[in-house]
Amino acid sequence: MNKEKTIKVESNSNNPLVYQHEIDVLSGKFDHCPLVVKGLTKEYIKGERALDELTFAVEAGTCFGLLGPNGSGKTTLLSILYGLLLPTSGSAKICGKDLTKAGVFRKHIGVSMQFDVLWDTLTTSEHLYFYARAKGIQNTEEHVADLLNSVSLVSKRDSQAKDLSGGMRRRLSLAIAMIGSPSVVFLDEPTTGLDPVSKRDVWNAILKFQRDRAIIVTTHDMDEASAICSKLAVVNRGELIFIGEEFEFREQLESEFKYVLELQFIESSRDKAIDFITRLVGEDQLVKMKDDIEGIEGKISYGVGKDASINTIWNGMREQDLSDFGITEWQLGETSLETLFLQLINSQAIIIKDKKQEWYRRLIGLFIK
């Protein structure tokens, strides 16, 4: 791992929030934070970067939502922060301890994976006692009692894991991650597969633990990110493309549109459906967000430009016989956090595509000069 002094205080980001955050981190402004990452890069194959000079910091008292599509680099990043992988270059520190010193920094972290690491025949309290003793915790009785209370499992302290519901098992896994009061806690997809009520119970438990530590949550659930995360970071293709609070996320992306129009149509009538919508709304006011085919039906989601007349769209859709255009269903509503996330990822894909095309043009230019 490279020493920190080799990292330049500069940022190549086009996003002003990312740019300023990276400059602040690299200049040492956030060195007091429990998690500080500077210029972290991981190459599996020479020239192919899973992480590309990733720089960010997470302050104590923050629930930090780490978002990104599959293949974005999140898993590689977490593997490095767990101490399972070494980066190609850059640095990462937890409570000021370098990740190359695994035995030193690991006592400061807690981890809850997507899957539950539980034994069916051990009780809830036995799990906590086992992990507490493994971590060398003193006064285990008091510590275990506090954890059971925090995750609302006091009444289940003597229940075996096999008899717990899915939500209870996740809360037990959360309590295990909090053993020893770690300064940095990683929660990987903490509510995957849970029903809405169980999700809320896990979210409430997470918020109880947030006060004096940095909690890093990876999730594909935008409702979850909105409910518990005080700061969001979006990683795509190994690069940080957004960091900030939810209102800043909305502020940046809703400047383009505030409404989403979703269409479902018979695939064989695709051209007619698209032509109708384009004429109704205006080509310059439509941004295609999603385009899917499911069997014989097509689905398209459009972002609607801020200058478009919502009343005109609403009335036009209601007054027309939409079956003439093969449209079977439609919906017009305000943009969700998930829609904005997809917009950001899609716009980043276009930028990367343009960069690759420029690289190819330069390469070809070497041979035709």
Segment 167-183, tens digit of pLDDT = 999 999 999 999 999 99
**166 shares a domain with 294:** no
**246 shares a domain with 259:** no
Q: Which domain holds residue 264?
A: 255-334
- Chain-centroid distance of CA 359 in Å reads 29
The whole-number pLDDT of residue 1 equals 47
- Per-residue pLDDT band at 104 (split at 50, 70, 90): confident
Average pLDDT for the chain: 87
Distance (Å, whole) CA 70 – CA 48: 16
Note whether residue 26 is domain-resident. Answer: no
The whole-number pLDDT of residue 90 equals 94
- Per-residue pLDDT band at 335 (split at 50, 70, 90): confident
Task: Report the 10 Å Cβ neighbour count for 296.
Answer: 8
Amino acid at 342: L
Q: Are 82 and 186 in contact (CB under 8 A)?
A: yes
Please list, in sequence order, all residues whose beta carbon lies within 8 angstroms of the beta carbon of residue 257, skipping any fewer than 6 positions away.
Answer: 287, 303, 304, 305, 306, 335
Q: Helix, strand or coil for residue 302?
A: strand
How many residues are there in the chain? 369
Helix 196-209 to helix 140-150 angle, to the nearest 10 degrees?
130
Domain boundary among 232, 251, 270: 251
**How many domains are contained in the chain?**
2
Q: Are 31 and 157 in contact (CB under 8 A)?
A: no
**287 shares a domain with 227:** no
- Report the pLDDT averaged over residues 84-103: 87
- Per-residue pLDDT band at 211 (split at 50, 70, 90): confident
Distance (Å, whole) CA 149 – CA 145: 6
Please list, in sequence order, all residues whose beta carbon lies within 8 angstroms of the beta carbon of residue 163, skipping any fewer than 6 positions away.
Answer: none
* Model confidence at 208: pLDDT above 60: yes
Distance (Å, whole) CA 219 – CA 343: 17
- Per-residue pLDDT band at 356 (split at 50, 70, 90): very low
The whole-number pLDDT of residue 110 equals 95
Segment 253-287, tens digit of pLDDT = 766 677 889 999 999 999 999 999 999 999 999 98
Note whether residue 35 is domain-resident. Answer: no
Q: What percent of the chain has pLDDT over 90?
A: 64
**247 shares a domain with 259:** no
Amino acid at 356: K
Q: Are 147 and 175 in contact (CB under 8 A)?
A: yes
**272 shares a domain with 180:** no
The whole-number pLDDT of residue 197 equals 94
The whole-number pLDDT of residue 43 equals 94
Note whether residue 92 is domain-resident. Answer: no
Domain boundary among 251, 273, 294: 251
For residues 18 and 354, the model is more confident at 18
The CATH number for 215's domain is 3.40.50.300
Place of tokens 């829609």: 339
Straight-line distance from the first to the last Cα atom of the chain, in angstroms, rounded to the nearest whole number: 40
Print burial letters for 324-358: b (CB count within 10 Å at least 16), e (below 16).
ebbbeebeeeebebebbbbbbbeebeeeeeeeeee
- Report the pLDDT averaged over residues 94-104: 81
Q: Which DSSP category does 335 fall into? A: P
**282 shares a domain with 205:** no
Distance (Å, whole) CA 287 – CA 308: 12
